Amino acid sequence: MKIDKKTRLQTAVQAPPPSAKPLVEPDQRRQRVQAAETCLAVLKTLAGLGGRASLTAIGAAVDESPAKVHRYLASLMAEGLVEQDRGGTQYALGSEAIRVGLAAMRQSDPIRVAEPALAHLRESLQVTSFIAVMGNKGPVIVRFEEPGLPVTVNVRVGSVMSLLWSATGRAFLAFMDDQPQIQALLEQELAQAPREKRALLDKTDPLGRLRAEIRAAGCASIRDINLPGISAVAAPLFDYNGHVVGVLCALGASGGFDPDPQGPIAQAICAEAARVSASLGYRAQS
């Protein structure tokens, strides 16, 4: 069949150039994204199961068939993120997953991670806020932020707070692991406290009852106890092991500062502390 010159020209214009690559269809992109999400879900589930689990347990946790989960595990093993034991019955986090985790741990400095929370509290609540860590003589303030109209208090960076009478100290007292040094400081403060302060505590079990109340509230709050005319709320910061690595505290003049654990200030402090703890790798127990 004879093709005229005009037909050949139209065919050449309509045909794609030889070097053009076929476009990825939206459905294909969506499938790739979904596959990546499922793969990450399998990896996170394995970590949530303690870093080692059977195929059946992983499949049940992600609500997928074992055959499908096995395909994703094979891809993760190819990248070194997952490994299989010699018996072939258990899967565990691999060397690459450990390397990623170690890199994340090295940058999880609680003071650095918590600094944005101080700025947010200062701007949103217009309160004085600070971060404290435990020192050899008690909680020590390491970061301090003040609003435009600061409250006059005699605490600054480097100040050591009372374990028993400050909100900061009480947050450490309630959530920190028992340590002989901390216990000795508590007993010393309790013995040296004036009678009117000791009367604020339970007579039969002053420290135990105080711990229980703070844990139930999720934060420590005081009004006019540590400093006259000053109220404060403090919440703990947890690391990936569930250990207290610091305390986030806000304070203000008692006339305009509500330290109620169910109030907006306390709820904001707890929310910021929870976000910082999550950034440090902490996962709250249900």
Q: What is the pLDDT of residues 105-148, one digit of tens each?
A: 666 678 888 889 998 998 888 888 999 998 888 899 999 888 77
Residue 57, both tokens: 């347990």
Task: Give the integer Cα–Cα distance in Å for 183 and 163.
Answer: 10
Strand pairing category for 91-93 and 220-223: unpaired
In this structure, of 116-120, 155-159, 251-255, 278-282, the range with the lowest mean pLDDT score is: 155-159
pLDDT at 4 over 70: no
Domain limits, the chain = 25-105, 108-279
Q: Render pLDDT for 62-90 as a digit per residue (tens, 0 to 9).
A: 888 888 888 888 888 888 888 888 777 88
What confidence tier does 149 reach under pLDDT thresholds 50, 70, 90? low
pLDDT at 29 over 80: no
Q: What's residue 248's pLDDT?
A: 95
Q: CB of 164 within 8 A of CB of 190?
A: yes
Partner residues linked to 246 by β-bridges = 237
Q: What's residue 12's pLDDT?
A: 46
pLDDT at 179 over 80: no
Task: Give the integer Cα–Cα distance in Å for 46 and 85.
Answer: 14
Residue 248, both tokens: 């986030």
pLDDT at 281 over 50: yes
Helix (H) or strand (E) holding 189: helix 180-192
**CB neighbour list of residue 3: distance below 8 Å, 6 or more residues apart:** none
CATH topology of domain 25-105: Arc Repressor Mutant, subunit A (1.10.10)
Partner residues linked to 144 by β-bridges = 130
CATH number of 108-279: 3.30.450.40
Average pLDDT of the chain, as a whole number: 82
